[in-house]
Structure 1
Amino acid sequence: MGAREGLGEPVQATSPGYSPRMSAPPAVPTALTLPGDQTLKLLRRGYRFFDELGDTGAEVVRMRLMGRRATVVRGEEGARLFYTEPSLRRAPALPELVVGSLFGHGAVHTLDGAGHHHRKALFTSLATPAASARVVADLTQGWEGAVDGWEGTVDLHEEVSLLILRAGCRWLGLALDPTDGRRRAADMVAMVDGFGSVGARQVRARLARARSELWVAGQLRERRERGTAGPGGADPLDVVAGHRDLDGDLLPLRVAAVETLNLLRPLVAVTWLVSSGVRALDDLPELRRRLAEGEVSSLWVAQEVRRVYPFAPALAATPGQDLVWRGVDVPAGSLLVLNVWATDHDPVLWPRPDVFDPDRFATQTVTPWNLLPQGGGAVSTGHRCPGEDLTLSVLATLLRALAASGVRVGSSTAVRLDRMPPDPSCLVRVGPARTLAG
């Protein structure tokens, strides 16, 4: 490879980039280098860290993360690179803090190549339109039963996570003791809440994961012992219990439990989007009215919630060979980081990106590269989340239900962006409740 561009000096852009929050578009480098390791700043700043990288206007930002050289890219072209470059591997880029708490060891997220493609097919075979319809029907019924019993102030995050857990367990075929629902839902929330922490939240997440894996593994073992496990099983739990790897072997019981949780846990994680969405509705009463009365698509509102409040602010991979991107060397073994936050808030892709405006989706087309809250590229062949349509269906259903209800946020509507993920609590006041409009 040729000589590298000086790591200490930014390469000047041929055209300016700017944030709409800046008063004037300054000359901005296409590549910028930050001194020192940025890991502690990332942990302190959370989503704001990636927002601030986007505000620089730089297409490429070089830094060190977790002691490794990292190249951060953004935008449609950055997403294309991240999802089409064949040498990129996900497993070497995943920190143990994320694997041990959020994904689980042996998860599909830790696989690449043929192994990933084979395991991914298991998920795409289960996250179907029929699955979405079933979960939505269960949620609608569960919502109408639950909201009638709410009085005074309740924690919406806690209540919605329980409703989603119950619907998810019925879809998957997981037996859930009626007295155990809140504890299991709290464990799902804890696993998600720990991924951005190195302290007590991380410990709680790992303990919750251990309990959850034991709970699910016991039921998977029963399915195998009674002979119902297999691709033609009665429910997704049978299918996961009978799934075989490329060598024809059943998944180790713990890995099968991990993958079952990777169907259930992300579904419960929609609760974070619901909490963000109800805050947006409180800030925009006219939008709330339009949504409740069916004057605006609930799908558009759900998409805008995912755009404005993407759960994962960035994604990482490791090149298997030296790459050059926008004239910047990306060495093999380093980190290539896709700035999801900056892409979803890019003023070039999304005019007035800081304005919550679901009507933008009436004319703006979502592509595999411009809206990345659950990854980009193709679901079937890449690393985009196979449960995206399920997420949208659940989120759209619950947001419309909330718009038509007497639920109002009881405190500040602001979402803290320095905590990753946001605080799993959303206190709401409950007024006269209504059932879902037809």
Structure 2
Amino acid sequence: MRRIPQVSGWDQSLAFLADPYRFIARNCRQLRSEVVQARLLLRQTLCFTGPRAAELFYNESLFCRAGAAPEPLRATLFGKGGVQGLDGAAHRRRKALFMRVLAPEQVAALVRQVSHEWEHELARWAEQPRVPLYAALHPMLTRAVCHWAGVPLAPAQVALRTRELVALFDQATGPPLSHLHSRLARMALESWLAHLLAEARAGRVELPEGSAAEAVALHRDEDGKVLRPRIAAVELINLLRPTVAVSVFITQAAHALHMAPQCREPLSDSLAGGDMRYAQAFVQEVRRWYPFFPAVAARVRHDFEWQGYHFSRGELALLDLYGTNHDPRSWDDADEFRPQRFLARKPGAYDFIPQGGAEPHAHHRCPGEGVAIALMMLSLDWLLHRMRCEVPQQDLSLDMSRLPALPRDGLLISGVQALS
């Protein structure tokens, strides 16, 4: 057996946090291996990159998810007891809930609600000299997804629930005070939604028929029992939070539109003309090129060998999402933004993994990819055809030490006008 290359240094946690998107690929490249070992948070961790490693990582007979995510992320981003930490039949049963709730007709209904919010927000944005696009998207997405999901949200609650949902993905890996805020936000959201679902089951609150909230309240796991209210709340948040987090992809798409002006005309023609192939290619290239999640975690299920390396039961493993999406073995000119690459080829299940790899019904690939793509397409249509705005002088460089990575000034727009 070959020895898995070890990243130099006693602990690499600070190096990883300083450059979370490029850490794994850089070290794998330097050590000429698809897998390296690094000590992260004082624990030896397997770090994988590339399509072959991704295919290995999603082999459920070799890797499991239970207990893999670090506790700070389970206490903020994911929640405890949710679908991300399940394996086997339990995972497939819970995942079926999400695939049913996020069926195409349900996604279309969510898109219509978000479009209504775009129209509502434009009037407010037009009154402001400058609008930070990323932050401005949060309340509109919160209102839209809560309405779509059947979660009652009074106007006076919008600001609070928006801050809490955003804190789950925007502050989870921040400095101690930000992380604490994320933990407190998770606790508040779970309490709010657990009470709502318990009241609905008791018949004291009526949830809209066919809504996501009703589906979560009525869902039964493989043991035939409904979810405990707190776990049900975690899963309902797993529908609300990712939709609000699409604000990251929308902001990145707007950034790409500004930084790659040669794409504007073919993108506009595609969206207006009904041939959506270029628009879809543009959205996919945004998801490939821009950093969103840096990595996903799993544990080695049992001892096995791969590529001459031995892996031991219980070892923690990270799969590099960003580096795999930029792997030159899969992508020509991988660091260039080129939407047309998606016109020439259909992406694979293991080389294009912005929201996880493999097949979404049975594996841990995100069931919300369709939502992200549809809302990005909608937002690009609004930006190109239904409003006019300018991008004033600002720092448009991406902060790669931030999770999620965004333009440093949040992408300011000015001179907003609605087009009739």
Calculate the TM-score normalised by the size of structure 2: 0.91
1:416 to 383, 399, 416: 399
- 1:302–1:395 Cα contact (<8 Å) kept: yes
For residue 142 of structure 1, what is the aligned residue in structure 2?
117
Structure 1 range deviating more: 106-115 or 33-42: 33-42
1:160 aligns with 2:137: yes
1:60 aligns with 2:43: no
- 2:288–2:326 Cα contact (<8 Å) kept: yes
1:393 aligns with 2:374: yes
Q: Which amino acid aligns with 1:81?
A: L
CA distance in 1, matches of 2:135, 2:29: 34
Structure 1 range deviating more: 96-105 or 137-146: 137-146
RMSD, matched Cα: 2.3
For residue 238 of structure 2, what is the aligned residue in structure 1?
262
Q: Which amino acid aligns with 1:110?
A: G
Alpha-carbon deviation of 1:387? Answer: 1.2
Q: Counterparts of 1:364-379 in structure 2 under 5 Å?
A: 364-379=345-360
For residue 415 of structure 2, what is the aligned residue in structure 1?
431
1:41 aligns with 2:19: no
1:234 aligns with 2:210: yes
Q: Which amino acid aligns with 1:416?
A: D
For residue 73 of structure 1, what is the aligned residue in structure 2?
48
- 1:229–1:242 Cα contact (<8 Å) kept: no
For residue 274 of structure 2, what is the aligned residue in structure 1?
none
For residue 253 of structure 2, what is the aligned residue in structure 1?
277
Distance 1:172 1:310, change over 3 A: same
Alpha-carbon deviation of 1:416? Answer: 0.5
1:171 aligns with 2:148: yes
1:329 aligns with 2:303: no
For residue 76 of structure 2, what is the aligned residue in structure 1?
101
Alpha-carbon deviation of 1:87? Answer: 3.0
1:128 aligns with 2:128: no
- 1:89–1:320 Cα contact (<8 Å) kept: yes
For residue 50 of structure 1, what is the aligned residue in structure 2?
24
Alpha-carbon deviation of 1:300? Answer: 1.6
For residue 406 of structure 1, what is the aligned residue in structure 2?
388
Structure 1 range deviating more: 180-189 or 267-276: 180-189
For residue 90 of structure 2, what is the aligned residue in structure 1?
115
Alpha-carbon deviation of 1:51? Answer: 4.7
CA distance in 2, matches of 1:300, 1:435: 26
Q: Cα deviations across residues 146-178 of structure 1 (Å, max 9, x unaligned)?
A: 123313101211221112112211211011112
Q: Which amino acid aligns with 2:85?
A: T
1:88 aligns with 2:63: yes
Q: Counterparts of 1:235-314 in structure 2 under 5 Å?
A: 235-294=211-270, 297-314=278-295
Alpha-carbon deviation of 1:110? Answer: 1.3
Distance 1:249 1:6, change over 3 A: closer
- 1:409–1:426 Cα contact (<8 Å) kept: no
2:344 to 363, 367, 374: 363
CA distance in 1, matches of 2:118, 2:266: 20
Distance 1:171 1:54, change over 3 A: farther
Alpha-carbon deviation of 1:305? Answer: 1.2
CA distance in 1, matches of 2:418, 2:27: 43
CA distance in 1, matches of 2:309, 2:149: 46
- 1:47–1:417 Cα contact (<8 Å) kept: yes
1:200 aligns with 2:177: yes
For residue 5 of structure 1, what is the aligned residue in structure 2?
2
Q: Which amino acid aligns with 1:91?
A: A
CA distance in 2, matches of 1:242, 1:50: 41
- 2:252–2:406 Cα contact (<8 Å) kept: no
Q: Which amino acid aligns with 1:113?
A: G
For residue 223 of structure 1, what is the aligned residue in structure 2?
200
Q: Helix, strand or coil: the match of 1:72?
A: strand
- 1:88–1:318 Cα contact (<8 Å) kept: yes
Alpha-carbon deviation of 1:229? Answer: 8.4
Structure 1 range deviating more: 347-356 or 95-104: 347-356
Q: Which amino acid aligns with 1:236?
A: A
- 2:291–2:405 Cα contact (<8 Å) kept: no
Distance 1:156 1:346, change over 3 A: same
For residue 384 of structure 1, what is the aligned residue in structure 2?
365
Alpha-carbon deviation of 1:107? Answer: 0.8
Alpha-carbon deviation of 1:90? Answer: 0.9
For residue 182 of structure 1, what is the aligned residue in structure 2?
159
Q: Helix, strand or coil: the match of 1:407?
A: strand
Calculate the TM-score normalised by the size of structure 1: 0.87
CA distance in 1, matches of 2:237, 2:381: 27
Q: Which amino acid aligns with 2:193?
A: V
2:191 to 191, 194, 214: 214
Q: Cα deviations across residues 312-332 of structure 1 (Å, max 9, x unaligned)?
A: 111121112112221122211
Alpha-carbon deviation of 1:435? Answer: 4.5
CA distance in 2, matches of 1:281, 1:258: 35
Distance 1:5 1:229, change over 3 A: farther
Q: Helix, strand or coil: the match of 2:155?
A: coil
**Regions of 4+ moved over 6 Å:** 227-230
- 1:50–1:341 Cα contact (<8 Å) kept: no
CA distance in 2, matches of 1:257, 1:246: 18
Alpha-carbon deviation of 1:333? Answer: 1.1
CA distance in 1, matches of 2:302, 2:2: 18
- 2:37–2:46 Cα contact (<8 Å) kept: yes
- % of aligned pairs identical? 34
Q: Helix, strand or coil: the match of 1:37?
A: coil
Q: Helix, strand or coil: the match of 1:278?
A: helix
Q: Cα deviations across residues 183-221 of structure 1 (Å, max 9, x unaligned)?
A: 211211111013323512211111111121122222212
Q: Helix, strand or coil: the match of 2:202?
A: helix
Structure 1 range deviating more: 370-379 or 284-293: 284-293
